[in-house]
Amino acid sequence: MLKLKKIAVTGGISCGKTLFCRYLQELGAYVVSADEVVHQLLSPKTELGQNVIKLLGTDILVDTVIDRRKIAEKVFHQPELLKSLESLLHPEVMREIDKQYQDVSKNNVTTVFVAEIPLLFEIGAGSMFDQTVTVIANEEDCIHRFRNTTGYDTEEFHRRMSRQFDPQKKAQLADSVIPNTGSKKELQERATQFYQHLLTH
């Protein structure tokens, strides 16, 4: 049985890492997103959800659902509160990603497992993977995408980026760097090349 390759994809905000992962998924990789895992775990019905409500207060609930925008508004101006929130979230997210890796490995459905983790290096999780990848893009393109997809302004983009490593530092720490400086078709071609390289090495 072939070993399931465990790949982590990271990068700055709105750099195209999600699209790159989607292309890998279309090629046959199993893909899990840390953001989606957080979304699933952040329910008032889960232990993690209850702990987050205890930390931040019941006003983060909207119609019995934990509102991520309310969380963002609360923590982004309070570094200590953000740190406390991250200390709750990150271990649970990595535990769930590892659980999915073990499940996929047992089922033998694919040979490539990809986890999209925005704060991969910041939380010191790079060593948990066989290979790490950073997607990089021009800052202007990232800001444009961020504003279009979130409705937030440029100031919010910079505020969020200030809590991450610089994209160039992420690139230096990664085993592979994927530039997203052209068209979607070019990114898709890079994803195909990367995937084929994984299958043959």
Residue 199 within a domain: no
CATH of the domain at 137: 3.40.50.300
| For residue 201, pLDDT beyond 90 | no
Mean pLDDT of 145-168: 94
| For residue 8, pLDDT beyond 70 | yes
Mean pLDDT of 159-167: 93
Mean pLDDT of 54-77: 90
Lowest mean pLDDT among 8-22, 75-89, 133-147: 75-89
- The residue segments making up the domain with residue 111 are 5-194
pLDDT of 143: 98
pLDDT-based confidence at residue 76 (cuts at 50, 70, 90): confident
Q: What's the number of CA atoms in the CB half-sphere (13 Å) around residue 178?
A: 31
| For residue 1, pLDDT beyond 60 | no
Dist CA 19 CA 23 (whole Å): 6
pLDDT digits (tens, 9 = 90+) for 83-121: 999 999 999 999 999 999 999 999 988 999 999 999 999
| For residue 60, pLDDT beyond 80 | yes
Residue 25 within a domain: yes
Q: Judge contact between 182 and 20, C-beta under 8 A.
A: no
Q: CB under 8 Å to 99, separation ≥6 — which residues?
A: none
Residue 201 within a domain: no
Mean pLDDT of 179-188: 97
Q: Judge contact between 17 and 140, C-beta under 8 A.
A: no
Q: Judge contact between 112 and 29, C-beta under 8 A.
A: yes
Residue of higher predicted confidence among 201 and 84: 84
Mean pLDDT of 135-146: 98
- HEC string of the chain equals CCCCEEEEEEECCCCCHHHHHHHHHHHCCEEEEHHHHHHHHCCCCCHHHHHHHHHHCHHHEECCEECHHHHHHHHCCCHHHHHHHHHHHHHHHHHHHHHHHHHHHHHCCCCEEEEECCCCCCCCCHHHCCEEEEEECCHHHHHHHHHHHHCCCHHHHHHHHCCCCCHHHHHHHCCEEEECCCCHHHHHHHHHHHHHHHHHC
Lowest mean pLDDT among 5-9, 55-59, 69-73: 69-73
Residue 200 within a domain: no
% of residues, the chain, pLDDT over 70: 99
% of residues, the chain, pLDDT over 90: 85
Residue 151 within a domain: yes
pLDDT of 2: 63
Neighbours of 150 (CB within 10 A): 15
Mean pLDDT of 134-163: 95
* Counted domains in the chain: 1
Q: Judge contact between 56 and 49, C-beta under 8 A.
A: no
Residue 71 within a domain: yes
Neighbours of 66 (CB within 10 A): 20
Q: What is the mean pLDDT of the chain?
A: 94
Q: Judge contact between 142 and 157, C-beta under 8 A.
A: yes
